[in-house]
Structure 1
Amino acid sequence: MADLLAGYDTDGDKRITKDDAPANKDYFLLSTKGDTVILRNTYYISNLLQELAIANDSAQENLLISLRQIQEPPAERISRRIKTQFWDDLTRTIDEAGLDRIAGDDKMHDTQQRVYVPFDDAVGIAYFKELQTRKPKLEVVVLPENITAEYVRSINEKPGILSLKIEDGKGVPFVVPGGRFNEMYGWDSYFENIGLLIDHRYDLAKAMVDNFCYQVKHYGKILNANRSYYLTRTQPPFLSSAIREVYHAMPAKDKEWLAESLAIAIHEYNTVWMQGNRYTPQTGLNRYYADGLGIPPETEPGHFKEILQEYADKHHVTEIEFETKYKSGEIKSASLDRYFVHDRTLRESGHDTSWRLDNVAADLNSVDVNALLYKYEKDFEFLISTYFKDGFKGLDGTTYTANFWHEKAETRKLLMRKYLWDDKLQGFFDYNVKTQQRGDFMSATNFFPLWAGLCTKDEAAKLVTILMHELKAEGGITGSSKASLDKYAINGVQRQWDYPNGWAPHQMLLWKGLINYGYDNEARELIYRWLWTITKNAVDYNGTIPEKYDVVNATHKVYAEYGNVGTDFAYITRSGFGWMNASYQYGLSLLPEEYIKKLDALESPDSVFEK
C-alpha cells in the first residue's frame, strides 16, 4: 500500500484518482505466478488500492487478489460492494452492542452517552436502566408524557439519541445515510429500503418498518431523525409505501405484522397529518409544519449569521450578543420566530435547503406532501381491499373500508387540481395559504404526482414534456430549473436542493412515475444519465459514492452550503451513501443489459441518446 500510494497518490489524499498519476506513471507492474500484468488505467490501480485496504482491515499479512477483482466492470463492482459491504457498514442498533458507534459521535457535545427513552416503553426503560449499571458513561433519560416545544428547547444543551425498538434483548437494526448522518432518518429510510429489498435484505427492510412504527407509537410521529432535537419534527410520509413493498417482498407473508403496521400507518395519517398545523382547513390540503422554538440546534455555527446580523443591527448590538439575548428570551422578535418556523419546516420537508422554501415553507400546501398523502390513501385502499375485505379496525376503534380511502383520495385529487394545478403553466405548483396565490417555482417535487399516480394521461403527458425540457441535465434530474433559481435566489448562496444539483430520491420517484404512465424511453434515459454519473465518478475518484451530485457538470464536486457527505475517506469508501446506494441498485434493476454494457464502457449519455 505504501509503495502504491507513494507512486500514484500525488496529492497525498490517500486515494488514487484521475487527479493523480502523471502521464509517465500510468501503469503498475503486478507479478503473479511468474506473469507480469501492466495496469494502464487509474480505475484498475485504485481498485488494487481498495482491495489492499480491505485486506488491511482484516489484518491479513498475505492475500491473493485476482486480476478479475482488479479489472471488475464498474457497474458490477459498485453493485456488488453495495450489496455485500455497504449495507452492513451502514447498519446500526441502539443497544449494548451498537451504542458506542451511534452515541459517541460529535453531535453529543459532551462525554456522556445520553439515551432518551419514551415514558411508555417499559421494555426500553428496563433495558437501558439495566445497561446503565454496567456503563458509567451512559445517561438514561425517560421522556415526559407530554413533549412540548419548550421541553425540547430545554434539552438542547443535553443532546442525545432517541431509543428505537428493543426486541428479544437486542436493538432492532436500521440503516443510516452515512458520514455525519449517523442516525435513522425519516425519508432516507424509505429509499434505502428499496435498495435493501432489491438486494434481498428482507429482514433488515422489515426492521426499518418496525422502527418506523415504534416511532409513531412512542414519539407520535416518524422522526426527522432519532436525535433529541428532532422530537417536534417529522419528514416526508412514506410509511404506507414501505409497508406495502416490504409485505409484497416477504418470502413468508405475516398478515398479523401487516395488520399491526397498517393500523399504525393509519394512526399516523390521522394524527400527524390530518390534525393540527399540518392540515389547512381553508383548502382541505396539507403542508409541512415543524413545531419548535428558536434556532435549530443541529445547524453548524454561523449558518444563520446573515439573518441574525440583520436583526442585531436593528437592536444595535453585535451578532453574537443578539444571538445570546435571543436564545435567553431577553430580546423577542415575532418575525424572527416565524423565520425559524419556516426554517425548521423546510428541514421537515427533507429539502434543506431550497430557495423554493426559503422563509415561506410553513405557508405552503406543497405538491410533494399532498402527492405523498394521496399515495397513503391509495395504499390504504389497496391493502384493505386486498387483505381485509370485511373492513379494517384502526387503533381508534374505527372500522375502515376500502371505499372510505378511495373517497379520501378522490377528494384530495380534486382539491389538488383546484389549488395546485396551473392551467397556464400546465403543471402542479405549491399553493401559499397565506397569500392565497399559487407559485411558479419549477422543482422536481412538482412531478411527484406522477409517482403517486394521481395524474390523468393528459396531465402526465404535459408534465413529462416539461420535466424533460426543464430539469433534464447531462447527469440526471436537477432539483429545480435554472430559471427558477435565477428568479428566486436573493443572494449567491447555492442551496443544495436546487439547480445544478441532483438527488437520489428525486430520480427514483420520477423514474417510477414515468414508468407508471408508460414513458419507458424517457425513464430509461434518465436512469442511464444518473447511473452514468455515479459510475463515472466512482471510476475516476477511487470508488466515491456521495450524498448528491452536480448533475449539470456530472460531478460529485458540489459547492453548496453543506458540502457533500461521502467524499471524505482514506483508501476506500466503506459505505457509500444510503439512498445513493439504493438508487444505483434500483436503476440497474430497471436498465436493460445492453445499457449496462454501455455504462461499463462509460459511454456518454448524449452519445447513447442522440437527439
Structure 2
Amino acid sequence: MKNWRSFVAAGLVSLLALGNPGWAQSSPAELYGDLFQRVQLEKLFPDGKTFVDATPRSNPAAIMAAYRQQPPQGKDALKTFVLHHFRVPGVNDHGASNLRAHVRTLWPTLVRQPVERQAGSSALPLPTPFVVPGGRFREIYYWDSYFTMLGLAVDGQQSLIESMLVDFTATIEIYGHIPNGMRSYYLSRSQPPFYALMLDLSKDDSPDTATRQLAALRQEYAYWMKGASCVQASRPCERIVRMPDGTLLNRYWDDKDTPRDESYAEDVATAAEAKGDKAITYRHLRAGAESGWDFSSRWFGDGRTIATIHTTDIVPVDLNSLMLAMEQRIEARCQKAGDSACATEFAGLARKRKAAIDRYLWVGKEGRYADWDSKAKKPTAILSAATLYPLFVGAASPAQADAVATTVRAKLLGSGGLRTTPNRTGQQWDTPNGWAPLQWVAIDGLARNGQETLARDIAGRWIGTVAAAYAETGKMLEKYDVEERKPGGGGEYPLQDGFGWTNGVTSALLDRYPDIAAELEKAE
C-alpha cells in the first residue's frame, strides 16, 4: 500500500512539474476575471454553479484575449460568446459529438404512438406510429414529413416511413386530403403536396398497398383541383386559377376566412393593420400557412409588410411544380396498374402544366422561375428559393437550369447556405434565414441538372451552419441564420428545436456527400 501511494504521489508531482501548473489550480473567478463577473452578475445562467463547471474549448488565456479584444455587447452577445468558447453543463455539452450519430439518437425521441379520438381534444386520430418535428410541433405535419423521411431512409428506419405512409393514406381516405397538421383546426387547409414524392420512398411493393396508395393519390389530386368546376377567367375558385390561355394552375387557399385558432391574436392584429375586409385578410393569412412559408415577402403586396398580404392572388411556382410531380406519378402508377385511360389523361395534364410553367412562371431575362400575380397578370418581383422547384421535379431545360444556377450564385447563396429570399422583412421565411427543406430541394434539383459543384457547395455551407449551431447549443434547430451561421429568428413563435426536417436533411446530405461527413468528423 505504501509503494502504491508513493507511486501515485510521484506521478502527480511529475504531472504538475510539466510547465507552469498555476492555471490548473486557479478558480474560474481567477482565470476569467471580468468575463466571469459579467456572466455571474448578469445571471447568464439561472444557477451560479453552471458556468463555474464549464469546460473551456481552448486555452483560457486565448479565450480572455478574444474577450478583451472585442467584448460582447449585451446579454445575447455575451451568451453567444460563452457558448462558443465553453462547453456548458446542461446547455451545450451534448452527449454525441458526431452530428450524424446525434441525429440517430434523436429519432426515437420524436416517435409518437397511434392517436385515438378523444372528446374535446383537437388531435386527429392516426392508426400507426409517426414522427413529429419537435418542440411546439407535437403532432405530425404534412410537408415536414417528406424531409424527415429522407433521413429515416438512410438511418435504417424504413419501418417508420411505411408507418407514416399508412397514416397519410388513411388520412386522405377519411378527409379527402392531408391537413396542414393532424389537428382539427388544420382541417380547412393542406400544405405543399409531397405525398406523391413520399411514395417514392416506400419499399412496400404489395399490390394491395399500391392500389390503395394510387386511389389516395388521385383523391388528393381531386382535392387540389376541385375548384376547376367553378373557376372563371377573371375569378379563381378555391385552389384553382385560370391562366390567360385557359390553362388551370393552382394556388394556396383555406376553406375558412376567420383568424387561425393557433395564431388568433396575431391574425386579429394583422387584420386591424390591413386595409379592407378583414375576412379577406384572414383568408390570405390562412393560405400563407397552407404554403408552409408563413410568412414571407413572397405573399406581400409591397414586398415588406404582412399587412399587405395577398397570398390567394399568387400562383406559386413551388406548388405547381409539386402538382406536376403528382400528375406524372399518377400517370406512371396508372400505367403500371394497366389503366391506360388514366395514364393518358394524366400524361396530358402534365404536359399542359409543364407548358404553363414555362409560359407564365419562367422569367428568362432574369434567369429565374417566379410566382405569378393573377391580378396584375404578370410574374411577381420577389426572387425566392422556390425558383429551384422546377429543377427539383425535373421540369427545367438545361438552359433554364444553368440560368437558375447563375442566379442562385449571385443572389441566394449565403455564407451558411441557401437564402430563402434576399429580402430582410423580419419574417421567418425571408433573409437571413435558411431552411432545411429548401436546401434539399436546391441541392437535389441542381445535382440532377448537371450543377453538382454548386449543389455540393450549398450542402457544405449548410452542414457547416448546422454543425456550428450544434456545437454551441447541442440542438438541431428548425431554421438557421445563413448570413451569420447561427440559430435563426423571426416569425410568430420562439425558435424550435428537435427538429424533424433538419435531422432528416442532415442525415440525407451526410449520406450523399461522404467527403462532407469526413471533413466534419475531422473538425469534431
Change (3 A) 1:563 1:47: closer
Q: Which has the larger radius of gyration?
A: 2
2:107 matched to which residue of 1? 87
> 2 CA distance for matches of 1:238 and 1:404?
21
> 2 CA distance for matches of 1:18 and 1:346?
46
Q: Deviations over 1:231-286 (max 9, x none)?
A: 11100001111112213xx5xx3232122112210121123335351122344111
3-state SS of 1:424 partner: helix
- Taking structure 2 as the reference length, what is the TM-score of the superposition? 0.78
> 2 CA distance for matches of 1:463 and 1:405?
28
1:498 matched to which residue of 2? 430
> 1 CA distance for matches of 2:50 and 2:189?
41
Deviation of the 1:42 alpha carbon: 7.7
2:377 matched to which residue of 1? 436
Where in structure 2 are the equivalents of 1:88-103 lying within 5 Å?
88-95=108-115
1:184 matched to which residue of 2? 140
Where in structure 2 are the equivalents of 1:589-604 lying within 5 Å?
589-593=511-515, 595-602=516-523
> 1 CA distance for matches of 2:213 and 2:496?
32
Is 2:163 the counterpart of 1:207? yes
Is 2:287 the counterpart of 1:367? no
2:24 matched to which residue of 1? none
Deviation of the 1:19 alpha carbon: 13
> 2 CA distance for matches of 1:296 and 1:203?
34
Change (3 A) 1:596 1:305: same
Where in structure 2 are the equivalents of 1:204-603 lying within 5 Å?
204-247=160-203, 250=204, 253-275=205-227, 277-282=238-243, 283-299=247-263, 301-302=265-266, 304-308=268-272, 335-358=277-300, 359-385=309-335, 387-388=336-337, 390-391=338-339, 399-401=341-343, 403-482=344-423, 485=424, 489=425, 494-541=426-473, 543-566=474-497, 576-593=498-515, 595-602=516-523
Q: Deviations over 1:322-375 (max 9, x none)?
A: xxxxxxxxxxxx621111110000000101011211321111111010001111
Q: Does structure 2 conserve the Cα–Cα contact (< 8 Å) formed by 1:448 and 1:513? A: yes
How many residue pairs were aligned? 446
Change (3 A) 1:305 1:49: closer
Q: Does structure 2 conserve the Cα–Cα contact (< 8 Å) formed by 1:17 and 1:46? A: no
Q: Does structure 2 conserve the Cα–Cα contact (< 8 Å) formed by 1:224 and 1:235? A: yes
3-state SS of 2:138 partner: coil
> 1 CA distance for matches of 2:371 and 2:53?
43
3-state SS of 1:285 partner: strand
Higher share in helix? 2
Q: Does structure 1 conserve the Cα–Cα contact (< 8 Å) formed by 2:433 and 2:480? A: yes
Where in structure 2 are the equivalents of 1:95-244 lying within 5 Å?
95=115, 115=117, 138-139=118-119, 160-165=122-127, 172-244=128-200
1:135 matched to which residue of 2? none
3-state SS of 2:298 partner: coil
Change (3 A) 1:46 1:434: same
> 1 CA distance for matches of 2:209 and 2:50?
48
> 2 CA distance for matches of 1:372 and 1:81?
31
Q: Does structure 2 conserve the Cα–Cα contact (< 8 Å) formed by 1:21 and 1:42? A: no
Change (3 A) 1:218 1:236: same
Q: Does structure 1 conserve the Cα–Cα contact (< 8 Å) formed by 2:427 and 2:490? A: no
Q: Does structure 2 conserve the Cα–Cα contact (< 8 Å) formed by 1:42 and 1:540? A: yes
> 1 CA distance for matches of 2:315 and 2:145?
24
Q: Does structure 1 conserve the Cα–Cα contact (< 8 Å) formed by 2:130 and 2:140? A: yes
Structure 2 residue runs of 5 or longer lacking an equivalent are 1-27, 64-81, 228-236, 301-308
> 2 CA distance for matches of 1:559 and 1:499?
10
Q: Deviations over 1:87-131 (max 9, x none)?
A: 1111112447xxxxxxxxxxxxxxxxxx4xxxxxxxxxxxxxxxx
2:11 matched to which residue of 1? none
Change (3 A) 1:25 1:349: same
Q: Which moved more, 1:18-27 or 1:348-357?
A: 18-27
The residue type equivalent to 1:404 in the other structure is E
Q: Provide the identity percentage.
A: 28
Q: Does structure 2 conserve the Cα–Cα contact (< 8 Å) formed by 1:16 and 1:46? A: no
Deviation of the 1:49 alpha carbon: 5.8
Change (3 A) 1:598 1:274: same
Q: Does structure 1 conserve the Cα–Cα contact (< 8 Å) formed by 2:479 and 2:488? A: no
The residue type equivalent to 2:107 in the other structure is W
3-state SS of 2:119 partner: strand
Structure 1 residue runs of 5 or longer lacking an equivalent are 28-40, 54-69, 97-114, 116-137, 141-158, 166-171, 312-333, 393-398, 567-575, 604-611
Q: Does structure 2 conserve the Cα–Cα contact (< 8 Å) formed by 1:502 and 1:549? A: yes
The residue type equivalent to 1:587 in the other structure is L
Change (3 A) 1:209 1:260: same
1:105 matched to which residue of 2? none
